Chain A
């Protein structure tokens, strides 16, 4: 069973909001996750660490438009006031005994 599950794609209109979902498996349902953004042909950038209670710590320079929340085994990344530059791949990631860091398959966000 995969530790993290993400939808392969998502889309939303310019100026709108979008929620990206990351689901933890039953063995990790109370784990914190992190979200990372990756633009095409660029290296990933750490967005935030998101705890099971919804509290989160953002990386340096991450705009207020990016926020996180949690519900049960679900971890959400919300991007509001979507901009064209938000079009990217978004990876959730957690830690796992035996494998220090494990990643979800990523969600490709298209801004319409």
Chain B
């Protein structure tokens, strides 16, 4: 059974870089699935950030593309998110997901990241 566990700092200062790790267990990330990140600002809806496919090809939301990097380490079975130059609008719960082209089909429990000085 696949499990996704997000981790990282819960507080990031404005203008700094948000860095998160997703540890995947029960399933290899080096398969024909998309692995990605989705976020949800408090009290608001869901926004796709980006995905990585077969540990190589990356796809980003155009609204965030200039600030986002998603990568993977197959030896550790982990996915990573970096978001640079954060502001208060980046405050959100960040979810790690696995999916196919049409949809994510497995979600992590999420981790809250607050951007504040």
Interface residues, chain A, CB within 8 Å of chain B? 32-34, 36, 42-46, 49, 59, 91, 93-95, 98-106
Contact = CB atoms under 8 A, between A and B. Distances in A.
B103 A105 contact: no
Given A100-B36, A105-B45, A49 B110 contact: no
The main secondary structure of chain A at its interface with chain B is: strand
Contacts of B110: 43
Nearest to B98: A46
14 contacts: A34-B104, A36-B46, A43-B107, A43-B110, A44-B46, A93-B104, A94-B103, A99-B61, A100-B36, A100-B101, A101-B36, A101-B38, A101-B99, A106-B46
Given A45-B107, A99-B62, A100-B59, 5 more contacts: A46-B107, A49-B102, A94-B102, A95-B102, A100-B50
A95 B45 contact: no
Contacts of A102: 48
B105 A59 contact: yes
Q: Which of A45, A100, A103, A106 has the most CB of B within 10 A?
A: A100
Nearest to A91: B46
B107 A100 contact: no
Contacts of B50: 100
A101 B106 CA distance: 14
B103 A44 contact: no
Interface size on B, as a range, is 20 to 34
Interface string B50-73: 110000000101100000000000
Interface of B: 34, 36, 38, 45-48, 50-51, 59, 61-62, 93, 95, 99, 101-110
B105 A95 contact: no
B61 to A, nearest CB: 6
A34 B47 CA distance: 15
A46 B104 contact: yes
Nearest to B111: A43
Q: Which of B61, B103, B107 has the most CB of A within 10 A?
A: B103
A105 B34 CA distance: 23
A99 B48 contact: yes
Query: 10 shortest A-B CB distances, which residue pairs?
Result: A34-B103, A101-B48, A103-B46, A46-B105, A43-B110, A43-B109, A100-B59, A43-B107, A32-B102, A44-B107
